[in-house]
Structure 1
Amino acid sequence: MTDHLSQPAWQGRIDTGEGASALRWHQWVQPLAERQVPGTALVGLACDEGVSRNQGRTGARQGPQALRKALANLAWRGERPLYDSGDTTCQGTDLEGAQKAYAEQVTRLLDQGHLPLGMGGGHEIAYASFLGLARHLRRLEQRPRIGILNFDAHFDLRSAEQSSSGTPFRQIAEYCEQAGLAFDYCCLGVSELNNTQALFEQAHRLNVRYCLDRQMQPWNIAQIEAFLDAFLAGIDHLYMTICLDVLPASQAPGVSAPSAHGVDLMVVEHLVRRAKACGKLRMADVAELNPALDQDMRTARIAARLLASLAD
Structure 2
Amino acid sequence: MPTAIAVTSPDLVLPPHDRQTPPAVVQPQGTLESSLVGMHALIEQHGYVIVLYPASVPGDITRRLHTVRSVLESDRIALLGVDLPPLGLALLAQQLRQLSVCDFSPGVLASAARLLAHYIYAGALLGSVAKLDRVPVSLKSHAKSWVPGAQFAVLANPRPRLVRLGQEELTGPEFSTRMLVAAGQPPSDWVTATLAPDWNVQGVATVPLPQESVRWWGTSKLAEFAAGLYDVSVLYQLVSSVRREECHWCGLELIGDRCGFCAAPLPPPPELPAAAVRAGTSVRALPPGAT
Please confirm whether the aligned pair reaches a TM-score higher than 0.5, indicating the same fold: no
- Which has more radius of gyration? 2
Bigger relative CO (Cα 8 Å, ≥ 6 apart)? 1
Question: Which has a greater percent of helix?
Answer: 1
